[in-house]
Structure 1
């Protein structure tokens, strides 16, 4: 089958979702008000609360939530066949992710830009908030620790990506000054920024940089991880307009240029999808597609991490409430388009079915390798780029998005410690520097405490990321649904996705629980039980809150 068909149907469906369905959700469900004073204006401080152009904010939101996950998840999930992954990405983007992301931003800005964890305390109750904050902390710990490993391995495996990955930071600092001080218009700034990024991508392979195998007894992987966390700590403390916003905005434009190149290459080269539509010849020990498909592909269909970004940083920068639709829902569409590209690269970027099966010889295979190698073949065939430049372009794309997610993730983790300081009246913890130090230390303890001198300990708890992340998405939708009930708004459009998500996630947690027990992996078994109990407790608390607010609303209507 031609990959062009997947491209047209996928992008066409997502476009229809944005132009039709999101308009309905914005006007009839969330009822966005252009005159509502957003927290960015109410609490403007020039550091975290900064009213921002919606295009720039979209770039921040989109690249912060994108990371490597919308590439890794779909590239692994195609082992069950391209059709299940394709349908979940497209339908998930339209009916799940867009509603979830926009809802999280809306709920936060209506509550002084509080994070979804702190918001739970006001909307549901103190007990639910305490449990929810533990789930949020675990998700952020996983994301930050693992993405540090992912970026380090990308930089080691592709030395030509080092210059563009780190050079992008310098470009972002300059772009931030140009935008903030309004030296030149946004359009010209965008062109200059993207041109610089792609100039660095072509320069990178000419000046590859590799660290020594060992430095002061540490491996190259460990050194890169320390450098990355040092950078992320500084980035999380800088004003958002100085680095976070411009870095994310330019990266967002760079991604779209990269996607356009990849999609254009698909239209020109017209590659054949060699992977089966439904794979009936699965490798041994491949888990059941249902429910595992819905937690293997998180980012790209729906992801709880999006709610953390939406309510943690995005809501503090929203200029107008009506920008929620563009920033939140269209941000989800952008990530869905990236996940679609990953599916095409991982199914049509192989010469034959035998080549594809050689890579997908076990569950968990494919991942970034399938995306980079498969996508590079398509790019080379369709655009004439050398395979080295094409591979570097895709590697830099993945590394830059993992980096921006890590930047935002560490800032969010700092917010969590600051919120704990506020909740438990620990004034020292509310300050940015101590909270940032706690965030970095917790990640490094996991990275080096569990992973030894190599620093890859974040991978130890990564098997739980999919279920914990999707659980977080379902619970975020629960909080949004409670807010809708309190306001007498339609709830069907958030209630159905959250029920589906919670059922699939709880089933996946139970399956993983059995698997960890059989493998005698007591550490992950214990964590799985913590997440499972947390899911049940928060679900019960939110269900009780739903009933309570529904009853109060009915009494108000009758009176």
Structure 2
């Protein structure tokens, strides 16, 4: 199979999904209303609630949800063969992720931009909300702690990325001022920002920067992690227009340019996919394809973290309700295209099957390193980019997206603490600075309390896939209950949520046995907590859904909302 055909089939199917399926979902199922007054206008405060141009908001949403996960997951999952990974990414993007992301923005916007956790209390009940928020907190804890480790590792491995990664923050601050204070043309600002960012990427290999080997008692890994959390804490407290929006927007443009370069190199060089379509000779210890494929690839097909971003920050910046389609569904398409690029780089970026097998010698191998190595080979062969420059470009792409996810993730974790403060009447916890300190503190406690070197967040990472997909299924469940209450068709959300809950539950049970066999009682306990939470929330939502269906049947004459 030539990679060109893989690319054209994948991108063509996703484009069809956006132009046809998303139009149907948003107009006929969600029934978006251009006259609806969104929370960004109704509750505008200039900090979190800010009416935003849909292109800028798309950049924020897309880069916040993308992170490194749509690269890591697909680039690991190809160990089962490229066909299963390709099909799940393409069909997951069209029928799962797009509906999930747009639905979460729509549902939140219709309920004063409440987070999906708080929304559960209104739509399902307080017990479901309390349990659901525990799952949400665990997902955010994993994302923030682990992405800090990923970023630190890449900055250490590729010091040529240091200048462009940190310089992008300065560029974003300037862009925010030019757009919102100087009212400059978005096109002009975009061009200036992209030129500045790629200028730094070009300079990076000539001025590689590394931290001193030891900063006091800390290693460079520990120092980077602490610096990243200090930055993320500051970013989460600043008004969204000042740093979060412009940083995410310019990163979104940068990613699409990077994807154009990578896909262009594929067209020019026409590499063959050397990985098997279905790998019948997987390394010993590789888990079964079903259900693990559907939790290994989360972002890029469907991800519960997207629902947190959609209902946590994106819904607070939605200018007009019809923007839900472009921001939410097209944001999922953008991430799907990134996952597709990761599959191509990790399967067609190697000269021979033997070279590929040398990377994929055990389950969990590949990931970011396979994407960067394979992608750099394709860029070098296709458009003649120097290998070091290609690696820098792809590393910056990975790190910037992981960084924007951290920015948003820490802000969302702050919201969770503030919501808990509101629920339990803890006044000081409802304020942003203390809530931010609690968010940072919990992440650092995990990172340094379990492992000591700052990589402790990796301890619970094996649970991320299942917990994240569980969150996606539960988010779809809440949206489904809301649709039933509005007397709208529910099958477009019910079918994917049933599939996800089945696969996630099977995954949790398989992991539970694995942790038990290994005697890993910490992960066994965490897995059991997540599994019990999933069952309880599912029962609560199912009960609410059944009651509403009976109420609708008893009163069939009521007009559809």
TM-score norm. by structure 1 comes to: 0.99
Q: Which residue of 1 aligns with 2:219?
A: 219
Aligned-partner Cα distance in 2 for 1:505–1:197 = 39
Q: Which residue of 1 aligns with 2:441?
A: 441
Aligned-partner Cα distance in 2 for 1:555–1:242 = 51
Runs (4+) off by over 4 Å: none
User: Counterparts in 2 of 1:397-412, with a 5 A limit?
Assistant: 397-412=397-412
Q: CA deviation at 1:182?
A: 4.3
1:342-371, Cα deviation, whole Å (9 max, x unpaired): 000000000100000000000000010000
Aligned-partner Cα distance in 2 for 1:458–1:153 = 13
Aligned-partner Cα distance in 2 for 1:552–1:321 = 29
1:219-238, Cα deviation, whole Å (9 max, x unpaired): 10000000000000000000
SS in 2 for 1:557: coil
1:394-437, Cα deviation, whole Å (9 max, x unpaired): 00000000000000000000000000000000010000000000
Q: Which residue of 2 aligns with 1:305?
A: 305
Q: CA deviation at 1:555?
A: 2.4
Q: Gaps spanning 5+ residues in structure 2: where?
A: none
1:32-78, Cα deviation, whole Å (9 max, x unpaired): 00000000000000000000000000000000000000000000000
Aligned-partner Cα distance in 2 for 1:521–1:426 = 36
Q: Which residue of 2 aligns with 1:373?
A: 373
Aligned-partner Cα distance in 1 for 2:549–2:425 = 33
Aligned-partner Cα distance in 2 for 1:531–1:445 = 20
User: Counterparts in 2 of 1:149-298, with a 5 A limit?
Assistant: 149-298=149-298
Q: CA deviation at 1:80?
A: 0.1
Aligned-partner Cα distance in 2 for 1:547–1:202 = 58
User: Counterparts in 2 of 1:427-466, with a 5 A limit?
Assistant: 427-452=427-452, 454-466=453-465
User: Counterparts in 2 of 1:408-557, with a 5 A limit?
Assistant: 408-452=408-452, 454-557=453-556
1:158-181, Cα deviation, whole Å (9 max, x unpaired): 000000000000000000011112
How many aligned residue pairs are there?
A: 558
Aligned-partner Cα distance in 1 for 2:551–2:180 = 46
1:121-166, Cα deviation, whole Å (9 max, x unpaired): 0000000000000000000000000000000000000000000000
Aligned-partner Cα distance in 2 for 1:243–1:443 = 22
1:3 aligns with 2:41: no
Aligned-partner Cα distance in 1 for 2:180–2:283 = 53
Q: CA deviation at 1:460?
A: 0.2
TM-score norm. by structure 2 comes to: 0.99
Aligned-partner Cα distance in 2 for 1:303–1:179 = 31
Q: CA deviation at 1:216?
A: 1.2
1:202-245, Cα deviation, whole Å (9 max, x unpaired): 01111111112221111100000000000000000000000000
Q: Which residue of 1 aligns with 2:52?
A: 52
Q: Which residue of 2 aligns with 1:38?
A: 38
Aligned-partner Cα distance in 2 for 1:315–1:183 = 23
User: Counterparts in 2 of 1:73-222, with a 5 A limit?
Assistant: 73-222=73-222
SS in 2 for 1:271: coil
Q: CA deviation at 1:558?
A: 4.3
Aligned-partner Cα distance in 2 for 1:251–1:555 = 51
SS in 1 for 2:404: helix
Q: Gaps spanning 5+ residues in structure 1: where?
A: none
Aligned-partner Cα distance in 1 for 2:239–2:69 = 26
**What do you get for the CA RMSD once the two structures are aligned?**
0.6
Q: Which residue of 1 aligns with 2:346?
A: 346
1:328 aligns with 2:328: yes
Aligned-partner Cα distance in 2 for 1:558–1:378 = 61
